[in-house]
A = this chain, B = another copy of it.
Amino acid sequence: MKTYFDCIPCFFSQALRAIRVVTDDEKTQRKVLDYVAKLVPELPLDVTPPEIAQRVYQIVAEVTGNRDPYREEKRQSNQKALSLYHHLKEAIGDSSDPVLTACKLAIAGNSIDMGPLSSYDDIASIADSALVSPLAVNDYEEFKKNIVSATHILYLGDNAGEIVFDRLLIEEIKQISDAVIHFVVRESPVINDVTVEDAVSVGIDKIATVISSGSDAPAVILSQSSPQMLKKYHSADVIISKGQGNYEALSGEKENIFFLLKIKCPVVANSLGLGVKNGDNILLKGQRLSNN
């Protein structure tokens, strides 16, 4: 997905939220906003939004020296989501289609995103409403068929907290598939995105092989990916792409990608089409997209 003019105000809002987490000093806050402003006339709009967001968060890091503003936020959301693990595991087990229920939870978990959102609902409420809400785009039957026959699945993680919901989905996937599963995290902290540390802290490393994307972008950007990551990407039968950033980065790709995400901005909703609106939960086979 290309960057739209509507993304520009959002980059400023994101910078402002991140900088306010780091410091109350208005001079420093102003400095960050001025740097972001200087970036605007140089922006290549044919790149994807997470590539520009990457630069915005790099500015926050460079100006403040703090490369991980959401560190404490991430720790808390991992902990909170982990405290719900057994309750959610039970809800999945009690449901008529445990993989579908785990998908719904994993998509709803994508609400835990400090990029486009300034806050999110209580994680327990997110989970509860996911169990009863339908998916606005639902390619689940095809997803399940692909998973069952896959030999290698690449799972692109997105945010802290959400990663506990990903763990639950991976556990269900392993019940119906013998595929080798690699779980991709960001190379270093950006927004509240998952890193190796997060993956280990919630036990993902016990059920999948954790690998780095090779980049600090808040999405898997193929041109920035490590050779190891690219090899896994191209050899996977199925790619499970979590979240809006990964969708924005990979929506034009031809691989067998399933996008599991909550739509968190009207620009993404419009770009996606299919009658999708802001706030919708979707499970979409990427090859259905018109730019594929």
Q: Which residues of A contact B (CB under 8 A)?
A: 5-6, 8-10, 12-13, 16, 26, 29-30, 33-34, 37-38, 40-41, 45
A30 touches B13 (CB 8 A): no
Min Cβ gap A243→B in Å is: 22
| Residues from chain B with Cβ under 8 Å of A40 in the complex | 33-34, 37
> Would you give 20 A-B contacts (Cβ < 8 Å), ordered by A?
A5-B29, A5-B30, A6-B13, A6-B16, A8-B12, A8-B16, A8-B33, A8-B37, A9-B9, A9-B10, A9-B12, A9-B13, A9-B16, A30-B45, A34-B40, A34-B41, A37-B37, A37-B40, A37-B41, A38-B41
| Residues from chain B with Cβ under 8 Å of A13 in the complex | 6, 9
* Chain A at the B interface: SS class: helix
CA distance A45 to B30 in the complex (A): 10
- With A33-B40, A40-B33, A40-B34 as known contacts, state yes or no: A16 contacts B10, CB within 8 Å: no
Min Cβ gap A282→B in Å is: 24
Min Cβ gap A39→B in Å is: 8
* Nearest B residue to A13, CB-CB: B9
* Nearest B residue to A6, CB-CB: B16
CA distance A26 to B46 in the complex (A): 13
Min Cβ gap A172→B in Å is: 40
Contact of A5 among B5, B8, B33, B45 (CB under 8 A): B33
> Which of A9, A10, A30, A38 has its CB near the most chain B CB atoms (within 10 A)?
A9
